[in-house]
Every structure is written in structure tokens, then in C-alpha cells.
């Protein structure tokens, strides 16, 4: 018992520096944000007074907030799903042996290595209805992909998928490398088909890595700002406005620091709720392998 407690104390000691850094970088700035969210602060009019939960009550009845939340949820659901499927396909392909494997493993990371703002600006030129690559490849089509509701959001999702799917593939490839080859050999000897091997061996053993990927990508996609802001600025007609963009507009354009902080706090709470759900999933045991 004493040895176990000593090991626990040692673990806490090693984790403590990371906890302190996270608290200083992430938790501490939230304290003034929460305090400002309880106030009405409009710098232009020199207005600053305590209003309690009035900002949160207004947020509940704010249709623009619910629209931004719906846009964010749709972006996360579609983008992360496509990235997971494409990333898994790329990972399985790169896990096999073929000529030029190392080259493709490096080349696939190029979109992910490009800064997000640069990628978004590049794609904005591609989608341009006058001189963009899409309009050149589709002669006679002058559709403004970034200026039409229904199309702009999917264009932004495509940009996010193009940039982030390689990152997902890299993480899943690392997970595939940890699966023992002997399991595959035993399954082949037993006469299992490739599809059966995938669903009975690869997918169950890859499940912890998939959950970790989902944690990273969901949290990152839920806070999406730069790519969408560069592409559309939240337009047209707020159809691509996410929670982060809405909070930014309230803080920096409208100058309403009280309500802008409220939006930031609610976004943080949503991220915490998603994290709690995924942590619960991480704690679930992996299925037994059956061939």
C-alpha cells in the first residue's frame, strides 16, 4: 500500500507542471471572461456596469446565437465525419508496402503543413467566380460558391477536410503500426476474409486511436475561426457564421465586450461538455477480438 501511494505521489508530481501551465494559459484567462460576461461593457459608450445573468438570458432568446450554434454543429459533424473516413482510407493505404511509400507518407502532410490562413486564402482564389480555377474548369459557370447560402458552408468544409484529413491519416497510421502483425497472420491462416479481418481485428484495436482523433478534431473544428473567416467572414447572410466568429464580431466590431464574453464562455462550456463525453468514451473497454 505504501509503495502504491508513493508511485501515485510521484505521478502527481510529474503531472503537476503540465497542470500549472494549463491553468495559467487556459483556466486563468477564463476567470476575467466570466466576470465580464456578467457585466454590460460597451467601450465606445463608456458603459460598464454589473447586470448579472442578463447576458445569458438574452443569449437564450438570441436567434443569431442558435443559428451560429447550428452552423458550428453542422460544420463539426460533416467535416469530422469526412476527415475520419478519408483519413482512415489514407492510413490503410499508406500502411501497405508499395514502391514510393515513404514519399507519399511525406507528401500527404503538405496540406496540413500549410498555415490555415494561407490555405483559406488560396482556396478563396480557387472559388473566385471570375478568375478562379473552378470557374476555369467549368466554363459557362459563374456561380459564386462563397457568396451563395448553402454552397458557402460546404466550400468551407471542403477546405477544412483538405487541410486536416492528412493529420487524421497520420494519427491513424500511427495506431495501425501498433497492431501486432501476428494477429493478421493468424486470421489469414484461419481463412478470414480481408473484410472480416478489418472489422474483427483492425477496427477494434484502432478504436482508442479513433477516439483520440475524434477528440482532437471535434474540439478543433468546434472552435473553427480562421478558415471560415478568411473565406466568407461568416456570410452570406450569416449562413457560415460560427460561434467563434459571432463572438469575435460582438467583441471587436460591435464593441460589446459583455455579450461577446458571454458567447466565449458558452463556447468554452460546449467544448468542455464535448471533452467530457469523449473522456467517457475513452474509458470504455475495447471489444473482444473475434474472428
Query: What is the span of the domain harbouring residue 253?
Result: 49-282
Instruction: Report the candidate in 230, 222, 278 with the shortest Cα–Cα distance to residue 76.
Output: 222
Residue 23 resides in a domain: no
Residue 212 resides in a domain: yes
Three-state SS for 178?
Answer: coil
- Is residue 87 pLDDT above 60, yes or no? yes
Residue 38 resides in a domain: no
Residue 25 resides in a domain: no
Task: Report pLDDT digits (tens) over 33-82.
Answer: 889 889 888 878 888 888 889 999 999 999 999 999 999 999 999 999 99
What is the crossing angle of helices 257-282 and 63-95, to 10°?
Answer: 40
- Please say whether the beta carbons of 151 and 127 come within 8 A: no
Please list the residues that pair with 40 across neighbouring strands. 49
Q: What is the pTM of this model?
A: 0.85
Residue 102 resides in a domain: yes
Q: What is the pLDDT of residue 287?
A: 46
Number of domains in the chain: 1
- C-alpha–C-alpha distance, residues 114 and 109, integer Å: 9
223: how many CB neighbours lie within 10 A of its CB?
17
Residue 1 resides in a domain: no
CATH number reported for the structural domain that contains residue 70 in this entry:
1.10.3720.10
Q: What is the pLDDT of residue 149?
A: 82
Pull the grid cell for residue 282.
Answer: 475513452
Residue 35 resides in a domain: no
Please list the residues that pair with 280 across neighbouring strands. none
- C-alpha–C-alpha distance, residues 181 and 201, integer Å: 11
Residue 13 resides in a domain: no
- C-alpha–C-alpha distance, residues 272 and 9, integer Å: 27
Q: What is the pLDDT of residue 5?
A: 66
User: Which one has a higher pLDDT value, 172 or 4?
Assistant: 172
Task: Report pLDDT digits (tens) over 132-158.
Answer: 777 777 765 667 788 888 888 999 999
Amino acid at each position: 500500500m505504501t509503495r502504491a501511494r508513493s508511485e501515485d505521489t510521484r505521478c502527481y508530481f510529474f503531472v503537476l507542471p503540465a497542470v500549472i501551465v494549463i491553468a495559467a494559459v487556459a483556466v486563468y484567462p477564463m476567470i476575467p471572461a466570466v466576470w465580464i460576461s456578467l457585466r454590460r461593457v460597451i467601450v465606445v459608450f463608456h458603459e460598464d456596469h454589473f447586470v448579472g445573468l442578463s447576458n445569458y438570458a438574452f443569449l437564450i432568446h438570441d436567434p443569431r446565437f442558435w443559428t451560429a450554434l447550428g452552423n458550428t454543429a453542422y460544420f463539426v459533424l460533416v467535416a469530422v465525419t469526412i476527415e475520419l473516413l478519408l483519413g482512415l482510407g489514407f492510413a490503410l493505404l499508406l500502411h501497405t508496402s508499395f514502391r514510393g511509400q515513404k514519399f507519399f507518407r511525406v507528401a500527404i502532410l503538405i496540406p496540413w503543413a500549410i498555415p490555415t490562413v494561407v490555405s483559406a486564402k488560396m482556396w478563396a482564389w480557387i472559388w473566385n467566380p471570375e478568375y478562379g480555377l473552378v470557374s476555369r474548369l467549368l466554363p459557362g459557370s459563374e456561380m459564386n460558391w462563397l457568396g451563395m447560402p448553402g454552397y458557402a458552408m460546404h466550400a468551407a468544409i471542403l477546405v477544412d477536410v483538405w487541410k486536416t484529413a492528412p493529420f487524421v491519416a497520420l494519427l491513424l497510421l500511427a495506431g495501425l503500426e501498433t497492431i501486432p502483425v501476428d494477429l493478421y497472420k493468424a486470421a489469414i491462416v484461419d481463412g478470414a476474409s480481408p473484410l472480416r479481418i478489418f472489422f474483427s481485428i483492425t477496427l477494434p484495436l484502432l478504436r482508442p486511436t479513433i477516439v483520440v482523433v475524434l477528440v482532437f478534431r471535434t474540439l478543433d473544428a468546434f472552435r473553427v475561426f480562421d478558415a471560415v473567416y478568411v473565406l466568407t467572414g461568416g456570410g452570406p447572410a450569416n449562413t457560415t457564421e460560427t460561434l467563434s466568429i459571432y463572438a469575435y464580431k460582438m467583441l471587436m466590431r460591435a464593441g460589446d465586450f459583455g455579450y461577446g464574453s458571454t458567447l466565449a464562455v458558452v463556447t468554452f462550456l460546449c467544448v468542455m461538455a464535448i471533452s467530457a463525453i469523449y473522456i467517457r468514451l475513452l474509458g470504455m473497454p475495447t471489444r473482444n477480438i473475434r474472428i
